[in-house]
Structure 1
Amino acid sequence: MNSLSVVQIILLSLFAFFQINEIITVGIGFGNPVNAGLIAGLIIGDVKLGLAVGATLQLMILGVGTFGGASIPDYATGAIIGTAIAHISGKGINYGIGVAIPVGLLMVQLDILARFTNTYFAHRIDKAIDRNDDKAVVRNSLY
């Protein structure tokens, strides 16, 4: 069994936060599972493991697009978690992929929950606009 240092855990957490925000805003490419696996592999010191997990997950989403607000599994986050868990457990690539797939599927459910939660705030903002309550609009805004 291997372990991760506190610095590695912090770096993986910061990278996961960065790549999720990057997918939403800029879209440079860190949100691809192969890139996420590569960077996670660099952080934990096992590039081969990170690339193997990330590339396998990349193959699973080839040709899948998020048209019309559709949600797809977040296999980039799955690649980060799968690479870290495979490294910690020492059980190898197949174990990492086996963990990464359910994580990606869980993340799509959390994405749907986040989108649903945003509608609550949108309705509150609409009501505040109808009342001409500028302070409430700013207070309920997510920006």
Structure 2
Amino acid sequence: MLIRSMLIGVFCYLGALSVPWAGGLTGGWYTLSRPLVSGMIVGTILGDIQQGIIIGVAVQAVYIAMITPGGTMPADLNFVAYPAIALGILSGSDPKVAVTLASTIGILGTIIHNFTMVTNSAFNHMGDKAVEAGDLKGIVRANAVYPQILTFLVRFIPTVIAVHFGAPYIDSIMNSLPQTVIDAMAVLGGMLPALGVGILLTQIIKDYSLFVFFLVGYIAIVFLQLNMIALAIVGACLALIHFKYSSTADTNEEAIL
């Protein structure tokens, strides 16, 4: 279990902000730290790919619209993506309960994120002094070496400790909780993905009448029970119809003017 915990810790580090080894932000933060991707990775390491993907999809829906303006991070998605999903798999609980656990750990992870940012400011001062002294190696150490060592330590060590030593405690805690508490966590875990999708819709939809397309998709999945391929075809047809008739309406308005 220690080796698997260490592997998860390495991936947690590779997916962190400002880590260049996995293709920078594109390959690291925006790929490895997406719960949809990390769920598959963690599930593969722990030997339960199906459960990892199920939990990853549910957690991804919660944070699908999360942004970090000006470095402000409402939840540390990196810790959500790896130690939280790993503990969710190891707990053997319902995916909805795992979503609640992941959200809690993500909020706690902001403490480590803020500690990292504060400490990195000290490295900036070291870099300034190295520039004044003309110390090229000192500049490299302050900008590339020390921050990476700190990031590795604050990502790798907590992840290994949480996954390796925390799994039995999580399991025992879940078994000791009353059923009413577990049911409440399941309800909350079911609401959080809906909240994430709702936030995303409010960001990308300018005209509220376009919500009808979302409702059509919901009806197609829940009531008509269409698979994803059929839903994609229906969506493409609706998009083509909307584009054609909206373009025609704009052309007519321009002709009148």
* TM class, shorter-length: 0.7 to 0.9
Q: Say whether 1:39 aligns with 2:41.
A: yes
Indicate the residue corresponding to 2:99 in structure 1: 97
Indicate the residue corresponding to 1:8 in structure 2: 4
SS, match of residue 53 in structure 2: helix
TM norm structure 1: 0.76
Matches within 5 A, 1:2-81: 5-20=1-16, 21=19, 25-28=24-27, 29-81=31-83
Contact 1:16 1:77 in 2 (8 A): yes
Superposed CA deviations along residues 33-83 of structure 1, whole A, max 9, x for unmatched, are 111111111111222321222222211222332343332423343232233
Q: Return closer, same or farther for 1:118/1:52 CA change in 2, 3 Å cut-off.
A: same
Q: Return closer, same or farther for 1:35/1:136 CA change in 2, 3 Å cut-off.
A: closer
Q: Which runs of 5+ in 2 are unaligned?
A: 145-257
Q: Distance in 1 between matches of 2:78 and 2:130?
A: 37
Indicate the residue corresponding to 2:110 in structure 1: 108
Q: Return closer, same or farther for 1:71/1:128 CA change in 2, 3 Å cut-off.
A: same
AA at the equivalent of 2:135: D
Q: Which moved more, 1:27-36 or 1:79-88?
A: 79-88
TM norm structure 2: 0.46
Q: Which runs of 5+ in 1 are unaligned?
A: none
Structure showing greater Rg: 2
Q: Return closer, same or farther for 1:86/1:60 CA change in 2, 3 Å cut-off.
A: closer
AA at the equivalent of 1:49: Q
Aligned-pair distance for 1:24?
8.6
Which of 105, 121, 124 does residue 123 from structure 2 map onto? 121
Aligned-pair distance for 1:15?
1.8
Quick check: which one's helix share is greater?
Answer: 2
Indicate the residue corresponding to 1:134 in structure 2: 135
Contact 1:36 1:76 in 2 (8 A): no
What is the aligned length? 138
Q: Return closer, same or farther for 1:133/1:110 CA change in 2, 3 Å cut-off.
A: same
